[in-house]
């Protein structure tokens, strides 16, 4: 048996878990850098996923607590669409090499794969040709070549440059 060491995971395992709704609580705290909030719109905000499928995995989240897609207001739909479009543009200009594609979508409900099923959110996942290798298949592990802090700083600077 081969062993894969990810010693940094112990910090996550031993850290206290957040109680409440992260998507309600994080923007209310106004600690955007610490919470990886990249941008704020009128109805939604853009946040880096701390459990990313790939580097640059972002989420667009309405401020209003809802898990019902059909309950989104017209203003929330518009802001979600605007932020997601800007996020794709930013990722194309920032990530090197540029992504070959994107997965954009929602997992509505736990049965659909939602990790936070009480508050809907739109995922934006940059994809590169060949980014699915043996690690996720054989070791149930994804390799992320950059820390979340470095990714946040780079994307935040890019957002400010493009949309600031």
- Cα–Cα nearest to 107, from 96, 99, 115, 95: 115
Q: Report the residue count for the chain.
A: 164
Contact 116, 62 (CB under 8 A): no
Q: Is 123 a catalytic residue?
A: no
Structure tokens at 132: 């699915």
- Cα–Cα nearest to 126, from 74, 78, 87: 87
The catalytically annotated residue of 77, 119, 121, 123 is 121
Beta pairing partners, 44: 62
Euclidean distance between CA atoms 61 and 23, whole angstroms: 7
Contact 161, 94 (CB under 8 A): no
Tell me the backbone φ, ψ of residue 139, rounded to 5 degrees.
Answer: -115, 0
CA angle 57, 73, 39 (to 5 degrees): 35
Which residues form the catalytic set?
121
């Amino acid at each position: 048996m081969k062993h894969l060491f990810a010693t940094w995971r112990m910090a996550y395992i031993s850290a206290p878990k957040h109680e409440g709704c992260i998507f309600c609580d994080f923007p209310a705290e106004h600690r955007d850098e610490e919470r990886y909030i990249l941008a704020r719109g009128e109805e939604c905000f853009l946040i880096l996923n701390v459990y990313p499928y790939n580097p640059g995995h972002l989420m667009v989240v309405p401020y209003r607590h809802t898990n019902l897609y059909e309950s989104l207001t017209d203003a929330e739909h518009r802001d979600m669409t605007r932020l997601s479009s800007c996020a794709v543009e930013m990722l194309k200009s920032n990530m090197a090499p540029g992504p070959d594609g994107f997965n954009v979508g929602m997992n509505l409900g736990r049965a659909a794969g939602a990790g936070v099923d009480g508050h809907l959110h739109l995922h934006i996942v940059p994809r590169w040709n060949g980014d699915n290798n043996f690690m996720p298949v054989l070791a149930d592990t994804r390799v992320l070549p950059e820390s979340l802090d470095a990714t946040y700083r780079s994307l935040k600077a890019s957002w400010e440059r493009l949309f600031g």
